[in-house]
Amino acid sequence: MLRTQESEAPMFTLPLGDDARLGPLEPWQAPEFLAHIDRARASVDPWIPWASLSTDLESATATLRRYADRQAQDGGRIYGIWREGTLVGGVMFTRFDSPAGVSEIGCWTERAGEGRGLVTRACRVLIDWAFRERGMSRVEWWVAAGNTRSIAVARRLGMSRDGVLRRNFAYRGERQDSEVWSILADEWPADAEAAARSGVVAELDRLMGTFVGAFTNTGGHRPDLDVIRDLFIPEGRIIANLGGDPVVHDLDAFIEPRRRMLTDGTLTEFSEWEVSERTEVFGSIAHRFSEYRKSGFLRGEWFEGSGHKTTQFLRTPAGWRMASLAWDDAPAVP
């Protein structure tokens, strides 16, 4: 599928947009892989047990060698996602059974790779190759039942949930449920119109991911609210409908008070993520209905929250942009 040369960057890589590219991960890249896993460990380890097996250079090399061996046997593959030259995540075929026509795909990312739709776009590359080039019949997605971000990616890929395997595996002394999602070859976009729509949805995924990621200040990460101006048309509006009269903000009125909260200690270790979405595209306009969750410390008190967003998009000469976004929060849980 993709090959590398022994240099600082893989050759024959595929662009993912947003200054990102997809390329193979091989054992000689173990130092870079280990540095990345160390950055990602806090968010990855609860969901991907093999991350806990890559704790030093020897074990990180062994992880990549296992996938190199699987690829040599046509039984698995692993690829990295680089953004601005830094490894920030990856995707892999954890199982690739060509005779049976069934493969399993997985993903991971560190904070710097979140919120841009990179994982979704990379997974689409692998799934498309599995169906079109290798004639696979089914691609599966196995995920711990509590891993809402991974489940959201499965939804964006058009997968269906086949079921739940209760207490399917043990992790750190507790039995965990596994959800099994899948997509079939005849469900994957085959014509140009469907493929084009898939590309539009991927771009809308990126816009929404960048929007929710702009507020993140976990682990010393600095929020980047200025990026919101790049996501919206200049006349864009953001509306809070939390009971009583709606509060309608222009971009500056929305950004500035939230910038203060996220930088003056009022709101710390905050992150927000999309749990599920339904996106409809009509030519040069689109609509997305989203469920989201969020968590953090508000004035020193931990909270978790959820709610819904409705977002309208326009295709402009500069590309797709948000036109308006309205949200309604569910009551916070202390």
β strands within 110-187, DSSP E: 138-144, 160-171, 174-184
30 and 149 both lie in a single domain: yes
**Bridge partners of 170?**
175
Position 61 pLDDT exceeds 80: yes
Residue 49's pLDDT band (boundaries 50, 70, 90)? Answer: low
183 and 212 both lie in a single domain: no
Lowest pLDDT segment from 3-7, 17-21, 153-157, 200-204: 3-7
User: Which of 1-32 are b and which e, b meaning 16 or more Cβ less than 10 Å from the residue's Cβ?
Assistant: eeebeeeeebeebeebebebbbbbbbbebbeb
Domain coverage including residue 54: 14-187
Identify the residue with better confidence: 198 or 237.
237
Proportion of the chain above pLDDT 90, given as a percent: 56
Could you tell me which of 76, 277, 48 has the C-alpha nearest to residue 158?
Answer: 277
Residue 94's pLDDT band (boundaries 50, 70, 90)? Answer: very high
97 and 160 both lie in a single domain: yes
CA distances from residue 14 to 1, 39, 134, 235 in whole angstroms, order as listed: 11, 24, 18, 35
Residue 7: predicted pLDDT: 39
97 and 145 both lie in a single domain: yes
118 and 221 both lie in a single domain: no
Position 41 pLDDT exceeds 90: no
Tokens of 101: 């026509």
291 and 315 both lie in a single domain: yes
Position 328 pLDDT exceeds 80: yes
Position 178 pLDDT exceeds 80: yes
Identify the residue with better confidence: 175 or 93.
93
- Report yes or no on 3 lying in a domain: no
What is the average pLDDT score of the chain? 87
Residue 20, domain CATH: 3.40.630.30
Lowest pLDDT segment from 122-136, 192-206, 245-259, 291-305: 192-206
SS3 307: strand
- Report yes or no on 192 lying in a domain: no
262 and 177 both lie in a single domain: no
262 and 227 both lie in a single domain: yes
Lowest pLDDT segment from 41-55, 148-162, 184-198: 184-198
Structural domain count of the chain: 2
Residue 171: predicted pLDDT: 74
To the question of pTM greater than 0.85 for the whole model, the response is no
**Contact yes or no for 296/303 (Cβ under 8 A):** yes
